[in-house]
Homo-oligomer: A and B are copies of this chain.
Amino acid sequence: MQKKRSRIQIINQQKLLDAATEVFASYGFRGATIDQIADMAGMSKPNLLYYFKTKKEIYLAVLEQTLNKWLQSLQDWMVTGTPEETIINYINKKFEFSRDHAAGSRVFANEIMEGAPILKNLLGEDLKRLVGENTRVIKGWVTAGQIRPIEPIHLMFMIWAVTQHYADFSAQIETLTGKTLDDEDFYKQAKKTAIQIILGGILK
């Protein structure tokens, strides 16, 4: 029987999750230390462990919080619109995610580069199913002659690659351009270019 979470608990757990997201984003699960996370949250290490019993437990909480938001954009895939509308909408959603959850995107990237020990099962089931549905839609467009013949899965990868790149490599992008997605003009230009090229590349 789970007691109702107190006000302090809710505040502190979220504060810890935010700090943990930042630290795991930078150093991955193994490279991150709970000292660092506690420090960033303005808390002592044992106090952190009062809210999350182990390092793995807080990592799982971070992954879950981020994953839900990540999958959301895939689920919102519109099957009713035209190819153009659908792709634009999807790229928009992905860019929004990269801007609003850049650290979460990097947590994912780290998890996958470590071999996705935690997410492997989930990627092989839920994500695989979602991707299957979406590639079928794209395949339908090709068959119906609505877009140029294209391998659907690689189009998906391409959209993920471009949108996530701005979150995962923001340090490099900032060094080269002085800007990040937080800059409104830069955000619009990045999105515009991506949409322009991808749409131009698949539409007839």
Contacts and interface: CB of A to CB of B under 8 A. Distances in A.
A150 B27 contact: no
Q: How large is the interface on A (under 10, 10 to 19, 20 to 34, 35 or more residues)?
A: 35 or more
Given A112-B169, A171-B113, A175-B124, A158 B30 contact: no
Contacts of A168: 109, 112-113, 168
B202 A154 contact: no
Contact of A110 (B113, B128, B175): B113
B176 A153 contact: yes
Contact of A157 (B31, B150, B153, B165): B165
Interface stretch (A51-59, A73-81, A189-197): A189-197
Interface in A153-193: 153-155, 157-158, 160-162, 164-166, 168-169, 171-173, 175-177, 189-190, 192-193
A96 to B, nearest CB: 17
A29 interface: yes
A45 interface: no
A148 B199 CA distance: 13
